[in-house]
Amino acid sequence: MKADVLREKFLTFFESKGHTRISGSSLIPENDPTVLFTTAGMHPLVPYLLGEVHPGGKRLCDCQKCIRTGDIDEVGDASHLTFFEMLGNWSLGDYFKEEAIKNSFEFLTSKDYLGFDKSKLYFTVFEGNENVARDDEAIEIWKSLGVADDHIFPLPMKDNWWGPAGQTGPCGPDTEMFVDTGKDACGADCRPGCNCGKYFEVWNDVFMQYEKTDDGSYVPLKQHNVDTGMGVERTIAMLQGRKNVFETELFAPIIEAITKASGKDMNESEETLRCFRVIADHVRSSVFILGDPTGVVPGNLGQGYVLRRLIRRAVRYGKNLGLEGTFLAPIAEVVIDNYKHVYSELEQNRQKIVTELVTEEEKFEKTLHRGMAELEKILGKLKEHDQKVVSGRVAFRLYDTYGFPLEFTEEICVEHEMSVDRPTFDKAFEKHKEMSKKGAEKTFKGGLADDSSATKSLHTATHLLHRALKNVLGEHVNQKGSNITPERLRFDFSHTEKMTPEQIKAVEDMVNEVIDKKLDITMEMMTLEEAREAGATALFDGKYGEQVKVYTIGEFSKEVCGGPHVDNTSELGRFKIKKEGSSSAGVRRIRAVLIND
């Protein structure tokens, strides 16, 4: 079964179970400064999991693009990827465990759908702790479907628990589904969830049934939700009998392009195999980030920094294969061709993707030259003092400051009959990785950083700002990103020139005039086509007939948005632009606040 067939089978199956098929969202979370990318299929739906009414109803399904870099150093093994597609279905206060598990089992085992051999499937559930009981309900449901006791594994919270979006909030146990690959067990304790590769996770059903309170206790949640996620790449690998995700049609053309560029056989060594896989994964991720409608480009902060790191890691591993010059663009073209029938934005942004990759490769070449010059100085000083070892801290500084890969440092040291203090480097690197992981694992809540009145007010103000910018600068202005905290808003928009002081004042005055009119903010649900016909600004392309929320502010602003918003503009206070500057090529950035008198 190919990926195209899996996507359609999944969505059609859940439509037959009363779910509304909705469009996946951008890779960049809207109005959420706590995470850089959409990391799971449920991420764009958090507001609705917390109780907001979704235009599509209480049963939903979709396919969502995701980026996760917390395990970036694991990429190269059989299953870890930084970009992946997540198929998901949700119940928002409707059905719960029994129907969710039965649906999952039917889709996995029915010959009309995936047809997995039941004897090859294994399941994990929450084993319970001092605060919450073992999930016996899930265990009994699996047993009722004919699953043997020795195919069900109760595991601790770190394995089978979906935590709250913050210190408090909705949370609950999950049950995960694995396929036995047939590999030998790694030992007596081998079980689903261990890292030996015998068991391949393909699906996860999360049951949000508790709320964690301020005192750390767990109380039953009023609205029980189901949130599931099936990885497209992993599932088709198992359906096709592959040993890893890189052997499917999603990666085969990309691997072939790397083979053509390098002239190497991917399987000639473990290191070569890893290089191929890292390049394939990182180029694919970079293409999807660059091709996203949000306008992210390589940079030194936020999403731009992650993108830059992915591109430069791909270049570094390409150097290990002997690739010289700019070689990413032809590989990226293959990725675009492989996915454009599913994600049309890749074809639409083809030129931008290729141009940015070439530009970043050229910048990295200069970076490598600077790092080389710095290393030559260091080696010269060591020779003067008859020393043979480059300290780990120095090697890490070359890596962190100049982007100079450790492998390059070690190779050059060998040429000079020197070595690198690897243990000290590893210690510095682990500290750096832990800090990066903590940053990547920041939690999110409700689509906004929080649901306070201050955040809602600033979110509402972005609608007024967006419309005012269009009125003052022209209809070419479109939102390219938004970052909101309770203290301020940050708004990125398409525009090529620096705004003049007169333009900034005109926008400020226009927003404040609307605030002074004390206009009600109303919400209607309609199809995306109806919203566009009504003159609403829509920042994404949804599927035909999909229901959306349209927020209207008097006759001034009409925009498709997930919310939440204040009820009346009088709640906003005075709007003040604090700074206007460049965000990236063709994109400007405004920082603004609301001042309460």
Region 536-549 average pLDDT: 71
Tell me the average pLDDT across 541-551: 72
Read off the pLDDT band of 557 (50, 70, 90).
Answer: very high
Name 548's Cβ contacts closer than 8 Å, sequence gap at least 6. 55, 525, 526, 527, 528, 531, 538, 542, 560
Encode pLDDT of 244-276 as tens digits: 999 999 999 999 999 999 999 999 999 999 999
Task: List every span in the chain annotated with CATH 3.30.930.10.
Answer: 3-247
Residue ranges, CATH 3.30.980.10, the chain: 453-595
Q: Looking at residues 220-239, what average pLDDT do you find? A: 93
Per-residue pLDDT, 548 = 83
pLDDT of residue 464: 95
Report, as an integer, the average pLDDT of 530-549: 76
Q: Is the dihedral of CA 449, 454, 457, 458 positive or negative?
A: negative
Pair of tokens at residue 127: 């084993």
How far is the C-alpha of 456 from the C-alpha of 572, rounded, in Å?
9
Most confidently modeled range among 141-145, 361-365, 547-551: 141-145
Mean pLDDT computed over every residue of the chain:
88
pLDDT at residue 443 in the model: 33
Span of 147-151, 158-162, 432-436 with lowest mean pLDDT: 432-436
How far apart CA 284 and CA 299 sit, in angstroms, is: 18
pLDDT in tens, 451-496: 567 888 998 999 999 999 999 999 999 888 787 878 899 898 989 9
List the CATH code of the domain at 453-595.
Answer: 3.30.980.10
Assess whether pLDDT exceeds 80 at residue 398: yes
Query: Does the pLDDT of residue 94 top 60, yes or no?
Result: yes
Give me the residues paired with residue 592 across strands. Answer: 489, 577
Radius of gyration of the chain (CA): 26
Q: What class, spelled out in words, does domain 3-247 have in CATH?
A: alpha beta
d(CA 141, CA 145): 7
Q: Which residues contact 119 (CB under 8 A, 6 or more apart)?
A: none
Report cis status (omega within 30 of 0) of the bond before 564.
Answer: yes
The per-residue pLDDT for range 285-305, each reduced to its tens digit, is 999 999 998 768 888 777 888
Give 546's pLDDT tier (boundaries 50, 70, 90): confident
Task: Tell me the average pLDDT across 64-81.
Answer: 88
Strand ranges for 352-505 from DSSP E? 389-390, 419-420, 479-484, 489-494
At residue 592, does pLDDT exceed 60? yes
Q: In the structure, what pLDDT confidence band is assigned to residue 540 with cuts at 50, 70 and 90?
A: low
| Mean pLDDT for the stretch of residues 118-122 | 96
Question: Average of pLDDT values for 39-63?
Answer: 85
Residue 438 has pLDDT above 90, yes or no: no
pLDDT, residue 525, reads: 84
Residue at 334: amino acid letter: V
Please tell me the least confidently modeled range out of 42-46, 165-169, 225-229, 316-320.
165-169
Distance, in Å, from the CA atom of 416 to the CA atom of 378, rounded to the nearest integer, reads 12
Strand stretches in 450-532, DSSP E:
479-484, 489-494, 521-527
- pLDDT band for position 34 (50/70/90)? low
| In 185-327, alpha helices (H) | 232-239, 252-262, 270-291, 302-320
pTM: 0.76
pLDDT exceeds cutoff 90 at 331 = yes
Pair 65, 27: CB distance under 8 Å: yes
**Whole-number percent of the chain with pLDDT over 90:** 60
